[in-house]
Amino acid sequence: MKRREFIQQASVGTTLITLGGVGLQSFTSAPSKKITILHTNDVHSHIDAFGPNDGRNSNKGGIARRASLIENIRKENPNTLLLDAGDIFQGTPYFNYYGGKLEFKLMSMLKYDAATIGNHDFDNGIDGLFAQLPHAKFQFLSANYDFSNTIMDTHTKPYNVFIKDGIKIGVFGLGIKLEGLVDKAMYKETKYLDPIEISQDMTRILKTEEQCDLIICLSHLGYNYKQNPDKISDLKLAAATKNIDLIIGGHTHTFLSKPTVIKNSEGKNVLVNQVGCYGINLGKIDFYFDSKKNKSANGKSIII
């Protein structure tokens, strides 16, 4: 008995020393870490590439090409998240014939990590969305749709924390107001909650409780409504909240030439990005982390 205890203690001691050495080393010269966020939005069942006679979209898009691009990016950096900001459904006969099954199966093949829900994802009713869930191996994140009185109850999460290379990445989802946009018979008892209030809750949880290093909002609110400045949009959300690092948007099919930088309520920078629609573009945002505090004291640099 005693001998065994001793051996154990001895082994513990040795391990400690060894690890301690490694630990100390990592304190002084930790290599910087890189997290890659890839994203799409409003793909609208565009599984095939556009043909040669499709105007400015000609010969662009196509999920098989996107798959090889993502595969190469993952080879280069395995610490990659792949996200979609909603409106996966509706736009080509693939959806009409198969009800979204192919879209979800293909996104699973591409190893999407999470998606939020767009208004068109209700086009076959909330039951139609529910029916395709078994084909999705990724998570549905929605913090401001209360599904508790619907068939979707417990099938979505408000947020998820992904850990890549020790970096905690909190992702939460936001959906657009459905009333007036989607027939009530389609979304049934889904309740829409205020995106700003919900974002304040989410960022508090993700920052304080979950201790995330990076907070991403996956939004289908729309980029900006110039004609309707009171309407909540990604730009308004970015300015009204704090602790969000990146808003990945959708709904307005906005082709930005580069991500937009907005000052949040604390005067810190937030990136707002959207990549148009139909799988024509893939957004790629790389976040570099360092463990040395002195660097961050000078603030982060944004290269866009």
Partner 1 sequence: MRLTHLFFLLIFFVFSNCKEQNSYLTKIEGKHIVITDSLTKNKEVEDFIKPFREHINNDLDSILAYSPKICSKSDGELNTAIGNFMADAVYSESNPIFKSRTGNNIDMVLLNHGGIRAVLPKGNITKRQAYEIMPFENNVVVVALKGKQIDALLNYLKNKKKAHPISQLKLTLDQSYNIKEATIKGKLIKKDKTYYVATSDYLYGGNDGMYFFKPNDGLYVLDYKIRNAIIDKFNKLDTINPMIDDRFIQIK
Site for partner 1 in 84-113 (CB under 8 A): 90-91, 93-94, 96-98, 102, 105-106, 109-110
**Of these partners, Zn ion, partner 1, none, which one is at the site of residue 76 (CB under 5 to 8 Å by kind)?**
none
Task: Report how far apart the first and last C-alpha atoms of the chain are (Å, whole number).
Answer: 64
**Of these partners, Zn ion, partner 1, none, which one is at the site of residue 87 (CB under 5 to 8 Å by kind)?**
Zn ion
User: Which residue of 2, 29, 257, 266 would you call a contact of partner 1, by CB under 8 A?
Assistant: 257
In the region spanning residues 86 to 105, those forming contacts with Zn ion, defined by CB under 5 A, are 87
127 is an interface residue for partner 1 by CB under 8 A: no
Copy the structure tokens of residue 176.
């657009």
Dist CA 147 CA 161 (whole Å): 21
3-state class (DSSP) for residue 155: coil
**Of these partners, Zn ion, partner 1, none, which one is at the site of residue 42 (CB under 5 to 8 Å by kind)?**
Zn ion
**Of these partners, Zn ion, partner 1, none, which one is at the site of residue 6 (CB under 5 to 8 Å by kind)?**
none
**Of these partners, Zn ion, partner 1, none, which one is at the site of residue 245 (CB under 5 to 8 Å by kind)?**
partner 1
Copy the structure tokens of residue 229.
């400045």
In the region spanning residues 209 to 238, those forming contacts with partner 1, defined by CB under 8 A, are 213-214
User: Using an 8 Å Cβ cutoff, are 139 and 113 in contact?
Assistant: yes
Pick between residue 67 and residue 193 the one whose CB is nearest to partner 1: 67
Pick between residue 164 and residue 220 the one whose CB is nearest to partner 1: 164
User: Using an 8 Å Cβ cutoff, are 221 and 192 in contact?
Assistant: no
Look at the alpha carbons of 219, 176, 156, 102 in this order and tell me if their dihedral is positive or negative.
negative
> Could you please report the per-residue DSSP string of 25-66?
HHHHSPPPEEEEEEEE---TT--SPP-TTSGGGTT---HHHH
User: Using an 8 Å Cβ cutoff, are 217 and 199 in contact?
Assistant: yes
Dist CA 81 CA 224 (whole Å): 25
Pick between residue 250 and residue 259 the one whose CB is nearest to Zn ion: 250
**Of these partners, partner 1, Zn ion, none, which one is at the site of residue 1 (CB under 5 to 8 Å by kind)?**
none
Dist CA 125 CA 128 (whole Å): 5
In the region spanning residues 69 to 88, those forming contacts with Zn ion, defined by CB under 5 A, are 87
In the region spanning residues 52 to 71, those forming contacts with partner 1, defined by CB under 8 A, are 59-69, 71
Pick between residue 87 and residue 113 the one whose CB is nearest to Zn ion: 87
User: Which residue of 175, 245, 254, 277 would you call a contact of partner 1, by CB under 8 A?
Assistant: 245
In the region spanning residues 21 to 80, those forming contacts with Zn ion, defined by CB under 5 A, are 42
DSSP β-ladder status, 246-248 and 139-140: unpaired
Which has the closest alpha carbon to 198: 228, 221, 222, 223? 221
**Of these partners, partner 1, Zn ion, none, which one is at the site of residue 84 (CB under 5 to 8 Å by kind)?**
none
- Minimum Å gap between C-beta 62 and partner 1 is 6
Pick between residue 181 and residue 196 the one whose CB is nearest to partner 1: 181
Q: How many residues bind partner 1 (CB under 8 A)?
A: 78
Contacts of 108 (CB under 8 A, 6+ apart): 135, 136, 137, 138
User: Which residue of 131, 133, 240, 282 would you call a contact of partner 1, by CB under 8 A?
Assistant: 282
Which residues form the interface with Zn ion (CB under 5 A)? Answer: 42, 87
